[in-house]
Amino acid sequence: MVNYRFLGNSGFKVSEITYGNWITHASQVGNEQAIATVHRALDLGITSFDTADTYANTAAEEVLGEALKGQRRESLEIFTKVYWPIGPKGPNDAGLSRKHIFDGIHGSLRRLGVEYVDLYQAHRYDYETPLEETMQAFADIVRQGKALYIGVSEWTAEQLRASHALATQLGVQLVSNQPQYSALWRVIEGKVVPTSEELGISQVVFSPMAQGVLSGKYLPGRPAPEGSRATDEKSGANFIQRFMQDDVLTAVQKLKPVADEAGLTLPQLAIAWVLQNPNVAAALVGASRPEQLDDSVKASGVVLDADTLAAIDDALLPVAETDPEKTYQVSPKTRPGA
């Protein structure tokens, strides 16, 4: 079964393996298979589920809501996000204005079929909306009982500090940040993680397997396997290209004996690695088939010894991205539109 961790400086616990439905639901796989995969996650002890209104232009939330229908609501931790354009992508269909946040939460609750979400997250930072407006809107949603906690995604250390100060003034809890993080993408370690530790904010990390590259299935000098994420535009083929370099793929192959020595598969090693960071509350994993989750959940509770961690660094640090300045390049400087 899956272990639990506290989210930030709160009394709220989440499963350290959290199911995320970016790319898969209402896009990569059919609804029946998606629902079966969610049910398998539940069977394996995963109770935390992350989605966003922008995934498949709101359809992914509907699929997740259908999959969770009939489950005991109190036994689930449901996260969603707001920011990216949805619907017809009009002038107020994106960003973190008060209007879009309120329209966003009402739409998400309707699609998910719940009265509240446990964690409502700002999917990016909105440079075109005053932060005070954004945080006041989130605080009002918490007071109305439509969300219990506030989180953000891919915010910089300075943005986390400013938003945390406002949340404290408003009497609500900013408990999490959702960044990309893996043994190949470590940009949060320099500034975001130390600031978060100081403020009592946890990381809920996505792409712990670097879009599948750390599974070892992509080989240097060889074409990507047919049907894999690297060949499917709907599955994030563009996103994965940063890792599809021969020096990176060669380095990943060096992890095979490391994983064998630890008694883990390569995916388990990758997920366990991010969970060694005490500031990480959960690793988001997705799956296109139910059986894929059987492997992922075995990373929960794994403790990697110092020799294993050193061997991973020896293999990957020369090709890993560690520059903290990369955290300043994620959120668009202007609100995204159609």
Q: Is 90 helix (H, G, I), strand (E, B) or coil?
A: coil
Task: Kindly state whether residue 157 falls inside one of the protein's structural domains.
Answer: yes
Which of 197, 121, 204 is closest to 161 using CA atoms?
197
Instruction: Read off the CATH number of the domain in which 102 is found.
Output: 3.20.20.100
As to burial, measured by CB atoms within 10 angstroms (0-12 exposed, 13-18 middle, 19+ buried), residue 250 is middle
Task: Kindly state whether residue 141 falls inside one of the protein's structural domains.
Answer: yes
SS3 letters for 235-250?
HCHHHHHHHCCHHHHH
Decide if pLDDT at 26 tops 60. no
Task: Kindly state whether residue 337 falls inside one of the protein's structural domains.
Answer: no
Tokens 């809107």 map to which residue? Answer: 137
Task: Kindly state whether residue 334 falls inside one of the protein's structural domains.
Answer: no
Q: Which pLDDT belongs to residue 228?
A: 52
Task: Kindly state whether residue 266 falls inside one of the protein's structural domains.
Answer: yes
Active-site residue identified among 4, 19, 55, 149: 55
The question of whether 55 is a catalytic residue gets the answer yes
Task: For the chain, give the mean pLDDT.
Answer: 93
pLDDT tens, residue by residue, 71-81: 999 999 999 99
Q: Report residue 332 as tokens.
A: 């668009």
* Interatomic CA distance for residues 292 and 8, integer angstroms: 29
Range of the structural domain that residue 171 is part of: 4-329
Task: Kindly state whether residue 17 falls inside one of the protein's structural domains.
Answer: yes
Q: Which whole-number Å values give the CA distances from 252 to 59, 188, 240, 325, in the listed order?
A: 35, 21, 14, 24
Q: Is 110 helix (H, G, I), strand (E, B) or coil?
A: helix
| Main-chain dihedrals φ then ψ at residue 276, nearest 5 degrees | -75, -20
Task: Kindly state whether residue 138 falls inside one of the protein's structural domains.
Answer: yes
* Interatomic CA distance for residues 43 and 45, integer angstroms: 6
| Main-chain dihedrals φ then ψ at residue 211, nearest 5 degrees | 60, 25
* Interatomic CA distance for residues 329 and 332, integer angstroms: 8
Q: Is 180 helix (H, G, I), strand (E, B) or coil?
A: strand
Statement: the pTM of the whole predicted model exceeds 0.85: yes
* Interatomic CA distance for residues 334 and 124, integer angstroms: 11
Q: Using the CB atoms, write b or e for 39-55: b if 16+ within 10 Å.
A: ebbbebebbbbbbbbbb
Segment 258-273 mean pLDDT: 98
Compare 21 and 110 and report the one with higher pLDDT: 110
Span of 30-34, 72-76, 219-223, 295-299 with lowest mean pLDDT: 219-223
* Interatomic CA distance for residues 165 and 159, integer angstroms: 10
Q: Report residue 263 as tokens.
A: 């008694």
- What domain count does the chain have? 1
Confidence label for 105 from pLDDT (cuts 50, 70 and 90): very high
pLDDT tens, residue by residue, 165-178: 999 999 999 999 99
Task: Kindly state whether residue 39 falls inside one of the protein's structural domains.
Answer: yes
Q: Which pLDDT belongs to residue 264?
A: 98
Q: Which pLDDT belongs to residue 156?
A: 98
Confidence label for 229 from pLDDT (cuts 50, 70 and 90): low
Q: Is 98 helix (H, G, I), strand (E, B) or coil?
A: helix
Q: What percent of the chain has pLDDT over 70?
A: 93
The CA radius of gyration of the chain, in Å to the nearest whole number, is 19
Q: Which pLDDT belongs to residue 227?
A: 56
Q: What percent of the chain has pLDDT over 90?
A: 86
